[in-house]
Structure 1
Amino acid sequence: MITISESIGSKVLLITASHTGNNIFCTPAIKFLKKHYPNTIFDVLAFNKLSAEVFKENPSINKLIVSNKSRVINKLARNYSQVICLHNKAREMISGLNPNFITAPDFIPNVHHAEQILQYVAGSINKEITDEDRAYAIAGKTNSKHLVLDDFNVKSHDILVCMHLGCGRTKTHGWKFFHSSARTHKKLLPIKTYIDLANELVKFNSNIRFVITGTKNENFLAKEFVKNVPNAIDLTAKTSVSELFNLMDKFSLFISQDCGVMHIASASNVSLLGLFGPTNPIMTGPYPVKYNQKIIKEESMSDIKMTEVVVAALKLLNISPKFELLA
């Protein structure tokens, strides 16, 4: 296997992945490289515009490039001293990449993907990892002074709970995928379960308002939710990654299944409740693990019990200074 050279050179191209979550997993390693090679130019290549948003305004990155054409990427690579595929799935996603590109090894079980990418980079350049290095790097800069929540008459006493109802496939393929695969897809929780959860939580505090995030392909989920949960806020297709990251500080709790937005939430300080079926939260859950996070894991998403989710949500909400159980 070709490995990263300690004499990394003056200009390096880092190839990432095609999904938001996988690209977020790469951010600790990118920051680590810039920390130890401050004079090296690091350009990042992502495979599509949506997942590339993760890297916008990142101070460790000189230039952000979007392409999914191996011919274009291979030609571009001639301008760099090293080309590193930080995510090992890059070659599966784009066939025909130059075999001389340095590629991270396959993932091993029971170690978080972000940690494995970071350890690979650190081991290659012979540098030690600190606790500060184990953190996602998402820039929260925005050019607009207008906050998207300003349009929804949010009151100071409102307790905002954010939910993301879809996953990577619904983000791309929308309602056709959801209705054909909702019962069998390993990451999906039925929309009715989220609606029932929301209406149950409101019984404990009427000030709770739910905020739904997602892409335009997921607005069919938000419409169903808003129709059945009074006073809910639909932010589908209204936020960029940086705007969503900024919004996390406004929420008292974030709830979702395993998805890219969960990793955006994990990068913030918001309390987080993650719902997992067969996927392994040790490998793709919140990173790093924090005191205000809770994972509910079952063999199947259908095995997740509503009572357990409600209890976990209430415990996390109790961390919020706004939250008090109704008498």
Structure 2
Amino acid sequence: MKQKRILVIRPDRVGDVVLATPLLRELRKTFPDSFIAVMVRPYTKDVLLNNPNINEIIIDDFEKEHKGWKGFWKQVLKLRKYKFNIALHLLPTQRHAWMTFFAGIKTRINVGIKFYGVLTFMKYVSRNKYIPIRHEADYSLDLGRKIGVKSDNIEPEIFLSYEEIEYAKKLVPKNNDEIIIGINPLSGKSSPNWEIEKYIDLAKKILEEIPESIIYVNLHNDLDALTKFKSLKSSRVNFIYNVSLRELILYISRFDLLISSSTGAMHIASALKVPTVSMFCPLPACSPNLWGPLGNKHEIILPSENFCKINCPGDPHICAFGDGIKVDDVLKATLKILNHISVK
């Protein structure tokens, strides 16, 4: 029987790539002798390092190195060399539809019917207008089901090497009586999120209410947010600033709890089985039914229905929850999680 050579394409954000890992695992279980590669953007590849279910990570830097027609044809020639016979497009894009077509991949499966998909003779899976709504990881698994995967296991996973685990202990040292709480206050407007000042107020209350707590705040490379958080002036508050995604993963692996909105950091935590407290918008496109954490202990906080009816701005990317989610709501959920977990 001819070897299955499968290309999984997920050219979007960190959380999306994390939620593709169940598909990769179930493809490997179903087709143990297959060759499996994943095509992702440069900055998300760290999610997949050390993953035993894939043979190769292929970078598509369509904003820089592989931009334009020259970059496109360079990628087509690269894919031809792998001799893939199956391509699973988890995010529909015209670029990748034509890329896999010209690469000569026989079986190509997309999400939904697109005009360019018809032109390139793609098969497809339907999301049925998200009715009933399911989790994004389950929708991704549909493409695997199209070629024979039977599983419903959608728990994500990230794999750390022994050396990384030891290095993480140096990044986040910890005494037995300490509780390490991570706060990820930034979302890049990928989801509704608090203003930074509310996260600062939350950190103050955590320091007061949980005397054994040590806080790590992930500030990406936002200098303004760093300056605001430094107003806390506490030796128990540490800042994660301008680190690689892989290093951020190592930091998160040491947390006893991560607090955030619906972000890639939340999905990283869930894949590492780190408990989370997460704020969500109830709109279907943003809801925890579609994007919630999987496989870890978690608390999900939604604004009240009445608040959203009156105050919804219509665009979740600019929503800051207003008074719909209060600092005390998140503190209460934090204490609830900590009361139910055994500290590492």
Instruction: Using structure 1 for the length normalisation, give the TM-score.
Output: 0.79
* Cα displacement string for residues 76-122 of structure 1 (whole angstroms, at most 9, x for unaligned residues): 33232324243224x16768544574323364422111111113312
Is the 2:196–2:225 Cα contact (8 Å) retained in structure 1?
Answer: yes
Contact kept in structure 2, 1:73 and 1:97, CA below 8 Å: yes
**What whole-Å deviation, never above 9, does each CA across 1:193-226 have from its counterpart, x for those lacking one?**
01111111222222211111243x2354234223
Is the CA contact (8 Å cut-off) linking 2:157 and 2:271 kept in structure 1?
A: yes
Can you give the 5+ residue segments of structure 2 that lack an aligned partner in the other structure? 67-71, 113-125, 309-318
2:35 is equivalent to residue 28 of structure 1: no
CA contact (8 A) 1:27 1:136 kept: yes
Q: Which of 53, 58, 79 is the equivalent residue of 1:60? A: 53
Q: Please show how residues 83-102 of structure 1 align to structure 2 within 5 Å.
A: 83-89=86-92, 91=93, 97-98=99-100, 101-102=108-109
Q: How does 1:85-124 map to 2 (within 5 A)?
A: 85-89=88-92, 91=93, 97-98=99-100, 101-105=108-112, 107=127, 108-109=129-130, 110-122=133-145, 124=146
TM-score, normalised by the number of residues in structure 2? 0.75
Shift of 1:143: 3.8
Distance 1:281 1:93, change over 3 A: farther
**Residues 322 and 153 of structure 1: CA distance in aligned 2, closer, same or farther (over 3 Å):** closer
Distance (whole Å) between structure 2 residues aligned to residue 213 and residue 160 of structure 1? 13
Partner in structure 2 of residue 128 of structure 1: 150
Structure 1 pair 80–282 and aligned structure 2 pair: CA distance change class (3 A): same
Shift in alpha-carbon separation, 1:37–1:229, aligned structure 2, 3 A: farther
Q: Which residue is equivalent to 2:181?
A: 161
The equivalences for 1:296-311 within 5 A come to 296-298=301-303, 299=308, 300=319, 301-302=321-322, 303-311=324-332
Assess if the C-alpha contact under 8 Å between 1:113 and 1:283 holds in 2: yes
Map 1:70-219 onto structure 2 (within 5 A): 70-78=72-80, 79-89=82-92, 91=93, 97-98=99-100, 101-105=108-112, 107=127, 108-109=129-130, 110-122=133-145, 124-130=146-152, 133-141=153-161, 143=163, 147-148=167-168, 150=170, 154-168=174-188, 186-215=191-220, 217-219=221-223
Root-mean-square deviation over aligned CA pairs? 2.8
> 1:294 maps to what in 2?
299
- Match of residue 33 from structure 2: 39
1:35-90 residue CA offsets vs partner (Å, 9 max, x unmatched):
1111111111112x21111111111111111122332332233232324243224x
**Matched residue SS, 1:147:** helix
Distance 2:95 2:226 in 1: 30
Number of residue-to-residue matches in the alignment: 293
